[in-house]
Amino acid sequence: MKEKTVKDLMTPLSEYGTISVEATLYEAALALERAQDEYDQARIRHRVLLIANEKGEIVGKISQLDVLRVLEPKGNRIQNSGSLSRFGYSSEYLKPMLRQCGFWDKPLTDICREAGNLKVKRLLHAPAEGEYVDENASLTEAIHRLALEHHQSLLVTRGKKIVGILRQRDMFKAVVETLSVCEL
CATH number at residue 148: 3.10.580.10
Question: What tens digit of pLDDT does each residue of 86-136 get?
Answer: 556 676 776 676 666 665 567 778 878 878 888 888 777 678 888 899 999
Question: What tens digit of pLDDT does each residue of 56-84 get?
Answer: 888 888 887 788 777 775 544 444 445 55
Question: What tens digit of pLDDT does each residue of 144-154 get?
Answer: 988 888 788 89
Report the predicted TM-score, pTM, of the whole model to 2 decimal places: 0.70
Q: What one-character-per-residue DSSP string does 21-63 give?
A: TTSBHHHHHHHHHHHHHHHHHHS---SEEEEE-TTS-EEEEEE
Q: Which parts of the chain fold into alpha helices (H)? A: 6-9, 25-42, 64-71, 73-79, 91-100, 108-115, 120-123, 139-149, 168-181
157, 134 Cβ separation under 8 angstroms: yes
Position 34 scores a pLDDT of 83
Q: Mean pLDDT across the stretch 24-32?
A: 90
159 φ/ψ sector (left φ>0, alpha ψ -120 to 50, else beta): left
Question: What sign does the CA torsion over 30, 60, 115, 78 have?
Answer: positive
Residue 94: name the closest of 68, 116, 76, 111 by CA.
Answer: 76
Provide the number of structural domains found in the chain: 1
With H, G, I as helix, E, B as strand and everything else as coil, classify residue 139: helix
Residue 107 in any domain: the answer is yes
Residue 1 in any domain: the answer is no
Residue 100 in any domain: the answer is yes
Domain that residue 172 falls in: 6-74+93-181
Residue 79 in any domain: the answer is no
Residue 99 in any domain: the answer is yes
Report residue 85's pLDDT band, with 50, 70 and 90 as the boundaries.
Answer: low
Residue 80 in any domain: the answer is no
